[in-house]
Amino acid sequence: MTIVCQPAGAPDDLISNLGGDVRSVNDLDAAVRALFDAPTEDLVVVGPQADASEALQFAAQLRMERPTAGVILVREQVDVALLTEALRAGVREVISTGDTVALDAACERSRALSDRARDELRFTDEPETPQGKVVTVFAAKGGCGKTTIAVNLAAALALIEGNRVCLVDLDLAFGDVAISVQLDPVRTISDALPMAGHVDTTGAVSLLTPYKPGLDMLLAPVTPGDAEKIPASLVGELLTVLRGMFDFVVVDTPAQFSEHVLTAMDLSDHHVLLTTPDTPALKNLRITLDMLDLLAYPRDIRWMLVNRSDSKVGLSSSDVERVVRSPLNVQVPSSRNVPISINRGTPIVLAMPNHPVSQAITKFAHERLLSRPVAAKTKAFARRGAGRR
């Protein structure tokens, strides 16, 4: 059955073109109820009369709460801006009104994706398969020390006896993880391209570069143009397999939202959001928080980290909290020893474990990442959807 959302009195050509078993609802709230009534339903077609912003919010919620279901958006006009926003929200395809051939093909592709998603969920839900935690480190502005924090956070987690940690460099075009720890990137994520669609543990192991006992790294490509070849679906496959192999998978990201970053955030148990005490970085953090709210990511997995927090720039901690409208979870001081450790290729938490920077990162890893249970992936989608009314 396909759920079609269009107001009463709208032309019925959309339903007639779809054919088969179709249930028509008048608005998006009714679509939420229909999904709640039909747990196996996996396709919602939103007609051109629905408000675009509400449709995107609906798709973003559905993406989190019913990952096996897909949304196809039908619009009178399709432009680049709409396609970009739809992609970010999780809409599978945007089809022009009247293009029945494209709509039929999009529905078939969406159902195929839903079938595959259900198979993957059945695999990952097997109780005998232990699942590690994915920690995505993100800053919307470059120069905040994101890679340095990600490397040291991974090293701090690996210092805990028994932990196995993998650091993934998802800055596919300009990744700095390898050079930060002076590794030769013989194997990178681009070597996974032939495995796309069937990544397994053996294949994932072949991509990793060992760094220290308990800490392996999946490095970014080094050849120009390789970044564009890597699909977001491959990133999702890799992270799913890696979380079954490691206790923690720490993901370093580029300073921008992309489908690859959103894929990592979808799979994450923790979002570590960085800023520095300067107005451009704080502004970008505020926008990041608004974007994560728009995409319906849970707030209880977010951690605000202020790097170089003691910089004498005229902004206090209370000023920073007032700007971002969120409490600060950890403050990492500035120190010339940090760039020195980078130039030497050894994370400061390993080179100087008693340093204030090391202690701040290690304390954060122990108190925030180790003690919290894995965040629940399913919420009361029907109740949240009804709340929009």
Instruction: Indicate yes or no: pTM above 0.75.
Output: no
116 and 142 belong to one structural domain: no
pLDDT score recorded for residue 20: 66
pLDDT at residue 198 is higher than 80: yes
Average pLDDT in the chain: 84
pLDDT at residue 93 is higher than 60: yes
298 and 170 belong to one structural domain: yes
| Secondary structure class of 199 (helix, strand, coil) | coil
Outline where the chain has alpha helix (H).
Answer: 13-18, 28-37, 52-65, 80-89, 100-124, 146-159, 177-180, 201-207, 232-245, 259-266, 279-294, 317-324, 337-344, 348-351, 356-364, 381-387
pLDDT band at 60 (very low <50, low <70, confident <90, very high): confident
144 and 276 belong to one structural domain: yes
245 and 308 belong to one structural domain: yes
Mean pLDDT throughout 20-48? 83
- Which of 155, 218, 158 is closest to 186 using CA atoms? 218
138 and 258 belong to one structural domain: yes
pLDDT score recorded for residue 180: 95
Which residue segment(s) compose the domain that 325 sits in? 133-370
Mean pLDDT throughout 202-220? 94
pLDDT at residue 156 is higher than 80: yes
**How many domains is the chain partitioned into structurally?**
2
Task: Return the CATH number at 305.
Answer: 3.40.50.300
pLDDT band at 262 (very low <50, low <70, confident <90, very high): very high
204 and 294 belong to one structural domain: yes
pLDDT score recorded for residue 16: 64
pLDDT band at 12 (very low <50, low <70, confident <90, very high): low
206 and 319 belong to one structural domain: yes
pLDDT score recorded for residue 129: 55
26 and 81 belong to one structural domain: yes
15 and 74 belong to one structural domain: yes
pLDDT at residue 260 is higher than 60: yes
CA distances from 222 to 87, 176, 190, 199 (A): 27, 10, 9, 21
71 and 148 belong to one structural domain: no
Residue 11 structure tokens: 């032309």
Mean pLDDT throughout 301-317? 78
pLDDT band at 229 (very low <50, low <70, confident <90, very high): very high
Task: Return the CATH number at 93.
Answer: 3.40.50.2300
Mean pLDDT throughout 347-372? 90
66 and 138 belong to one structural domain: no
172 and 286 belong to one structural domain: yes
Mean pLDDT throughout 19-32? 82
Mean pLDDT throughout 199-214? 92
